[in-house]
Structure 1
């Protein structure tokens, strides 16, 4: 960097470069993951009947493509204005929110299934989930409305970042941390109660998927809370969407695995697993 620029300008430019590298890497990783699973996904899309869970899968799987397209446009667009940055960033925030909501829905219903369709547990989870979504929307859009976007003063450095006020962005991930802590507690409680008395392969798969998903979610939520609070420039938000992407990959990959396990157990029937009707205690594992 040229010495004629201030230390602050150089630090901001470097943060924007790192931000762009991260999003480019994430887009590459997402495309690679899609290419690796395209055969299994094609089989699922063509062989399973249309149900609500299938629609949920499609939204969860393909919304990140829109998220990456919008973010890469923002990262590489030259001569951005503050208004353009805010407008595109709001679009990206909507895509991120849709992605994380759909991913979480998979595991809320799985937890509901593990609890034998207990209505009290479902109401508790959905109430907490609704609180998380409402709080996240309020925090995200209030932060973008009050925090100005800035671009680099150094020629050739594209992209923009929120110079102040972005600390509010930790709130959605704090709420998500609380939701997932609740869900993993419910999952582990159910496991302790039923593990020794349930001889069910499908039950075991759902349980392992849930625990791994929530553990990853808790770790990423804590990392995003810390980066939002402690880092400056574009660094503060560099991993926010990474968590959404990882959640979407885990949710869709785990659902594909569950569908194929169920299909292989019944090779003559090409059906999709309806998670709301899948009660593990009624499932008999084939020998």
Structure 2
């Protein structure tokens, strides 16, 4: 009697999941390249043509801009290459997890600096933000370590199977998204309140409106994405393997 791993239904479902995973990674790669193309002129004029020297915030931008390409290439490799050994799959997926958490942390640092600037670089707020960042991102890195070490791979179920056969992963990944939501909610509150104070003080210029509108909308967008990821993990635990391979890349 064949085991469940050998049944046609299991193989068909596995093939569907693998195809969905590959489509998600490929679509994210297309969006990433498209975003890079339409914003490259701004990067040249504001970064590469700026001759006053690079600051550490510029270096953060470069990391935020180009780290997703490393992550995406890695994702395409472990989703579209035939006959990948299990050890190589483990290393590739672990790299995906760490590139995600490092990339998102860089993005959040940039947005936190922006929020701090809105509050006129208040020193007390700077100390609070540093403590807040450490309180959230310390556990977030620990969660990622637990998650990446929990990944389990099986050999390819059939000869033409493409990519890695990820079969199990710890659902603790939802904690990572929950921590991200906590941090985003805190920064969003600070940004919204700072905008309200600025507006009451007469700040109603086009630049003022753009900074707060774009900043608040961006954080709302990220908050909703994190909420969706948590909902998917809790409601459909089978798709935790897909989220292991498709974690949201840093946004420019």
Fold in common (TM above 0.5): yes
CA RMSD of aligned residues (A): 2.2
Residues 226-278 of structure 1, C-alpha deviations (whole Å, 9 max, x = no match): 22223244x32545776643x423xxxxxxxxxxxxxxxxxxxxxxxxxxxxx
Q: How does 1:1-287 map to 2 (within 5 A)?
A: 5-48=7-50, 49=52, 50-150=54-154, 152-160=156-164, 162-199=166-203, 200-233=205-238, 235-236=239-240, 238=242, 244-245=248-249, 247-249=250-252
Residue 223 of structure 1 deviates from its aligned partner by 0.9
Residues 132 and 172 in structure 1, CA contact (< 8 A), matched pair in contact too:
no
Where does the alignment leave 5 or more consecutive residues of structure 2 unmatched? 1-5
> Distance between the aligned counterparts of 1:33 and 1:237, measured in 2?
27
Change (3 A) 1:113 1:240: farther
Residues 173 and 224 in structure 1, CA contact (< 8 A), matched pair in contact too:
yes
Change (3 A) 1:5 1:243: closer
TM-score by length of 2: 0.87
> Distance between the aligned counterparts of 1:209 and 1:241, measured in 2?
29
Q: Which residue is equivalent to 1:272?
A: none
Residues 26 and 76 in structure 2, CA contact (< 8 A), matched pair in contact too:
yes
Mean Cα displacement is larger for which, 164-173 or 224-233?
A: 224-233
Residues 151 and 158 in structure 1, CA contact (< 8 A), matched pair in contact too:
no
> Distance between the aligned counterparts of 2:129 and 2:234, measured in 1?
28
Residues 114 and 190 in structure 1, CA contact (< 8 A), matched pair in contact too:
yes
TM-score by length of 1: 0.77
Higher relative contact order (CA closer than 8 Å, sequence separation 6+): 1
For the residue of structure 2 that corresponds to 1:248, the secondary structure is coil
Change (3 A) 1:63 1:175: same
> Distance between the aligned counterparts of 2:245 and 2:131, measured in 1?
24
Mean Cα displacement is larger for which, 210-219 or 37-46?
A: 37-46
> Distance between the aligned counterparts of 1:160 and 1:132, measured in 2?
31
For the residue of structure 1 that corresponds to 2:154, the secondary structure is strand
Residue 73 of structure 1 deviates from its aligned partner by 0.8
Change (3 A) 1:224 1:161: farther
